[in-house]
């Protein structure tokens, strides 16, 4: 991922420097387990442990010749080992994927911990914003068309719970990707004792794979990427709400606009939802990772490397982008400008059409058949749509023409927006308890 969208902590997780640090750690843990079991000389452990990781530049230089990244790494690290002869026991009984998959599991869990911390902050931001607007009336929209009165906090609560569930899915996926496989060339422990795998897993606070061939099958990694894609898409749902709310015709919501900020090189009046649009664009990047990574599940027999190049691109990019998305979305929510007066003005924009559902039920409960009541209310509503006459007036006229008596006092009572949200108390209680 380009530097523009890479935050330092997550960028460090996926850096080549950190990858080689993890490779050294895994290889050292394997060597320590061998030495503890008496399979290799005990005096080779300390020189290997003390050897600094090779630089990415040195590994890349050797790989130009070997065309094999793990061999290039082992050679470069051996060059850093004093005496170099101690390095002869590094990678003892292992295959490349023992190292690659185990170190990848560490990277995935490290990346997950960074993401979970940011997801917690976003959940809290959405929760607090929703509670702050539990009484902020606005019009609900279905198909983009005014429907019934709601409160802004209700929409935010829906997004808060969605992000909390998405975070919890990622937490569950962390447990499944956090596995160690130190099982040899085809996963049969032919040249390495299973106790080594157990020891390495314990040292890394991971667990041994249930089974492995030369690799750990990619169902769990696919689940992890899918969890990131869901998080990214919920971030986009937040952003989409803001993008709609900032449209000139709506103007209920807007992103913060800082002193000195510019919206357009040509039009000085512009205040554009650029953060929200960036979230929408980057969510596509994360979703794009799902299928390519999933296609790494079916490999030839015990292993091929068709998954390898895919994962080198998509795993870091998906993690780095999701990290940035969580950061962007939290900032968006924390600094969101809510125009409650405009929300209330838009609520009244259709001349009372938002109350047709309550009027329909009131007429049914007064004795009309549902069919007759629907026909009366819809006819009045269409007249309001087409001519702009307030709904109560068109309803009164059509009811009189049909010989239907209206209880005006009762209609006054039900044509109030507060009545539509009176039952949301338990929802906001649940929101307040969200963590």
> What are the Cα distances from residue 28, in Å, to 86, 109, 133, 207?
12, 20, 55, 18
Contact (Cβ atoms closer than 8 angstroms) between residue 41 and residue 89: yes
Q: Degrees (nearest 5) of the Cα angle 105, 106, 107?
A: 90
Structure-token pair, residue 43: 């005096």
C-alpha 384/C-alpha 95 separation (Å) is: 75
Catalytic site residue from 143, 259, 265, 301:
143
User: Of how many residues is the chain composed?
Assistant: 435
Contact (Cβ atoms closer than 8 angstroms) between residue 220 and residue 293: no
Instruction: Output the CA torsion 125→287→166→108 (10° steps).
Output: -100
Does residue 212 have an active-site annotation? no
Does residue 301 have an active-site annotation? no
Catalytic site residue from 85, 190, 264, 369:
264
The owner of tokens 């009541």 is 373
> What are the Cα distances from residue 365, in Å, to 273, 369, 373?
46, 9, 10
355 half-sphere exposure, CB direction, 13 A CA radius:
24
C-alpha 321/C-alpha 77 separation (Å) is: 32
First to last CA, the chain: 31
Active site residues: 143, 264
């Amino acid at each position: 991922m380009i530097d523009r969208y890479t935050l330092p902590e997550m960028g460090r997780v996926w850096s080549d420097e950190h990858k080689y640090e993890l490779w050294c750690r895994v290889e050292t843990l394997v060597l320590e387990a061998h030495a503890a079991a008496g399979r290799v000389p005990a005096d080779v452990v300390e020189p290997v442990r003390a050897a600094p990781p090779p630089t990415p530049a040195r590994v890349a230089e050797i790989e130009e010749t070997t065309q094999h990244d793990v061999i290039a790494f082992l050679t470069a690290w051996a060059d850093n080992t004093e005496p170099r002869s101690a390095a002869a026991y590094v990678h003892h009984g292992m295959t490349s994927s023992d190292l690659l998959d185990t170190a990848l599991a560490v990277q995935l869990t490290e990346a997950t911990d960074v993401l979970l911390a940011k997801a917690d902050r976003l959940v809290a931001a959405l929760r607090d914003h929703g509670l702050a607007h539990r009484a902020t009336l606005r019009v609900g929209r279905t198909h983009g068309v005014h429907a019934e009165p709601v409160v802004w906090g209700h929409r935010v609560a829906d997004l808060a719970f969605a992000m909390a569930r998405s975070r919890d899915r990622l937490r569950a996926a962390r447990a499944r990707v956090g596995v160690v496989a130190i099982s040899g060339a085809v996963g049969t422990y032919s040249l390495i004792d299973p106790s080594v795998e157990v020891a390495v897993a314990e040292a890394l606070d991971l667990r041994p794979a249930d089974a492995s061939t030369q690799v750990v099958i990619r169902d769990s990694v696919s689940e992890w990427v899918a969890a990131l894609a869901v998080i990214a898409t919920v971030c986009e749902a937040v952003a989409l709400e803001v993008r709609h709310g900032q449209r000139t015709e709506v103007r209920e919501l807007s992103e913060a606009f800082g002193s000195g900020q510019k919206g357009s090189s040509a039009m000085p009046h512009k205040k554009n939802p650029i953060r929200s649009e960036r979230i929408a664009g980057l969510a596509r990047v994360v979703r794009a990772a799902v299928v390519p990574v999933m296609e790494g599940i079916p490999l030839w027999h015990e292993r091929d490397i068709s998954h390898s190049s895919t994962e080198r691109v998509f795993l870091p990019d998906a993690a780095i982008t999701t990290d940035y998305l969580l950061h962007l979305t939290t900032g968006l929510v924390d600094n969101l400008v809510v125009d409650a007066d405009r929300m209330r003005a838009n609520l009244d924009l259709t001349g009372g059409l938002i109350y047709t559902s309550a009027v329909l039920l009131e007429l049914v409960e007064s004795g009309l058949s549902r069919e007759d009541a629907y026909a009366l209310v819809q006819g009045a509503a269409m007249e309001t749509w087409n001519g702009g006459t307030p709904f109560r007036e068109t309803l009164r006229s059509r009811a009189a023409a049909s010989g239907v008596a209206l209880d005006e006092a009762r209609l006054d009572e039900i044509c109030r927006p507060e009545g539509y949200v009176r039952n949301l108390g338990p929802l906001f209680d649940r929101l307040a308890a969200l963590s």
